Amino acid sequence: MWFSFPNVRPRRLRQSELIRNLVAETRLTVDCLVMPIFVKEGIDRPEEIESMPGQYRWPLNDYLVKFVEKLRDKGIRNVILFGIPKHKDSIGSEAFSKEGVVQRALRLLRETFGKSILLIADLCLCQYTDHGHCGIVRERRGEVVIDNDETLRVYAKIAVSQAEAGADIVAPSGMMDGQVRAIRQALDEAGFENVLIMSYSVKYASAFYGPFRTAAYSAPKFGDRRTYQMDYRNAHEALKEVMLDLEEGADIVMVKPALAYLDVIRLVKEHFPYVPLAAYNVSGEYSMIKAAAARGWLDEKSIVLEVLTAIKRAGADIIITYFAETVADLIQD
């Protein structure tokens, strides 16, 4: 038998740090990390987010600029912006306004940093609608529904306004059918053929988004998101969602959340190895670690590296994580 001679000893490969580093299958680097940033209208100092210790809502001023500069200096060059508008209405018009909070943040960061920072804009309605749903709500035959195709028209407008403001990538997260096609078409018609689409293709209806909704005031006022976000009992359905998004023109696809869905990340990577795959290490995954670490129950630094490496090992090429800055500090050490 092949293993009887020479004497195979797996531990030989583990005997020193240099050898372990030499043979490591997975490497966590800062290039693949994306830092989520909340920008809020109507404040002049950063506000710490109660449900996400160490994370802030940033004002549209020098505080934001300095923060992004600090990230860039640490090697974090990719950010995804979430807007928190002052004014909400039934169609979320601040999401596509030229003077919307994300549009202003994009212009500010683009003017300050040029192309040295990659600007991704989350594209959704839930922070902007007074009802908190990701789409347009309407009554149909006595029933309240999220109108898919009406929502697509609004998403198309948001995409163009974000591209005009300087977004390199738009990231639709509302899970409406056909959203990638609608956005691709609108971007192309407006002359933004080079703006990428990173689609939240596989987004589950998840309680792990709880802290984010507190942070962004975006919890639905009635009902839940289960008529558009995926059912967590389903794994193979992810392949259908990814296939459709690729047909519609997605450049990068995403699985979200990450940690409880490593099987799904692996499944998608195996079926579509040629497609860049992002995973979103969401707010609940962040806050659980922060809460346990604050009590001394877990060692934050080790846990963060273990968790993020596991997400990469499962097959993610890109990780969106609130720990991006922490990782940069750890990798430098």
Question: Which lies closer to ligand PBG via its Cβ, residue 122 or residue 248?
Answer: 122
190 to 219: interface string for ligand PBG, x by CB under 6 A: -------------------x--xx----x-
Q: What is d(CA 113, CA 58) in angstroms, rounded to the nearest whole number?
A: 17
Q: Cβ closer to ligand PBG: 75 or 210?
A: 210
Q: How far is the CB of 316 from ligand PBG (least distance, A)?
A: 15
Closest CA to 172 of 267, 262, 186: 186
Prior bond to 273 cis, omega within 30? no
Residue whose C-alpha is closest to residue 228's, from 259, 200, 269: 200
What is the secondary structure of 262-321 as a DSSP string? HHHHHHHHHH-TTS-EEEEE-HHHHHHHHHHHHTTSS-HHHHHHHHHHHHHHHT-SEEEE
Judged by CB under 6 A, the residue of 124, 242, 259, 324 near ligand PBG is: 124
241 contacts ligand PBG (rule: CB under 6 A): no
> Between 148 and 177, how does the x/- string for binding to ligand PBG read (CB under 6 A)?
-------------------------xx---
Which is nearer to ligand PBG, 161 or 173 (by Cβ)? 173
Q: Which is nearer to ligand PBG, 126 or 277 (CB)?
A: 126
**193 close to 268: Cβ distance less than 8 angstroms:** no
- Measured distance CA(308)–CA(324) in Å, rounded: 10
Residue the block writes with tokens 């040629």 = 274
**Residue 134 binds ligand PBG, judged by CB under 6 A:** yes
Q: Which residues are catalytic?
A: 203, 256
Residue ranges in 272-331 that form contacts with ligand PBG under rule CB under 6 A: 282-283
Q: Which residues bind ligand PBG (CB under 6 A)?
A: 122, 124, 126, 134, 173-174, 209, 212-213, 218, 282-283
